[in-house]
Amino acid sequence: MKNFYSAVLCVLVSVVYTATVVSAFVPPSPLNKCMLTTTTTLQMGYVPDGMTPEQWKKQKEQEQKQRSSKKFGAFGPQTFKSRSFQSFQKDLEKGKTSHLMPVFNAKEKIKKGQLRQEDIPYMQRGGSWDDSDVKGARQKKWSSMDKSYMANEKPAGVDWTGRNQRKGPSSSAASKGKNNNQQKQQQEPKVKKLFGLF
């Protein structure tokens, strides 16, 4: 009988111990359900010091307009419009143009009247090589090479989708290449080789 009571006591102790351990892993039940159901929305936002929310909103809109005008996927310079190197080199040899060196303190020199806007190289001022971006400036003449370069200019970026039309040999040139290979194969006699190696 003593053994029976000690066995029952051990079972009760283990059940109580297990219940306390298991209850440690169960999330506590809310005491007040009203606390969980009432929610408030926070209406906060970032506004830099010294600016009103309206000023900050206006500045963000201006930055968005500037970003939308840029082509971020394009290669090469995007701030100025250049010409082909070949046409530049031809004009350089004829003496129609010269190398463009950067101008130091260009903005201050323009304000003082020491320089004109078109005297600043187009790459530095972010304009076009023919000075079409400068109001009142005499525009440089386009050669036939410049016109063909601009007409054949590809859209910015890489054709990741493979949908753009590719240039390659014409179908007649491709078929001529195949015919030439076939004729060469027919003219060369086949020589038997040892195991195809020698």
pLDDT tens per residue, the chain (198 residues)?
A: 668 777 777 777 787 777 676 666 766 665 555 555 566 776 778 889 999 999 999 999 999 988 887 766 665 566 777 788 888 888 889 888 888 888 899 889 989 999 888 888 888 888 888 888 888 888 888 888 888 887 776 555 556 666 666 666 666 555 555 555 566 666 666 666 677 666
Letter for the amino acid at 191? V
Q: What angle do CA 21, 22, 28 make, to 5 degrees?
A: 110
Rounded Cα distance between 122 and 103, Å, is 11
For 59, residues 6+ apart whose C-beta sits below 8 A from its C-beta are 51
DSSP 8-state class, residue 114? S
pLDDT for residue 118: 84
* CA 176/CA 193 separation, integer angstroms: 31
CA pair distance 22, 88, nearest whole angstrom = 83
Orientation of helix 144-151 relative to helix 85-94, angle to 10°? 170
C-alpha 83: how far from chain center: 24
Report whether 128 contacts 80 (CB < 8 A). Answer: yes
- Give me the pLDDT at residue 76, please: 59
Residue from 121, 110, 119, 116 nearest 81 by CA: 121
Amino acid 13: pLDDT: 77
Please tell me the distance from the alpha carbon of residue 163 to that of residue 156, in angstroms, as a whole number. Answer: 14
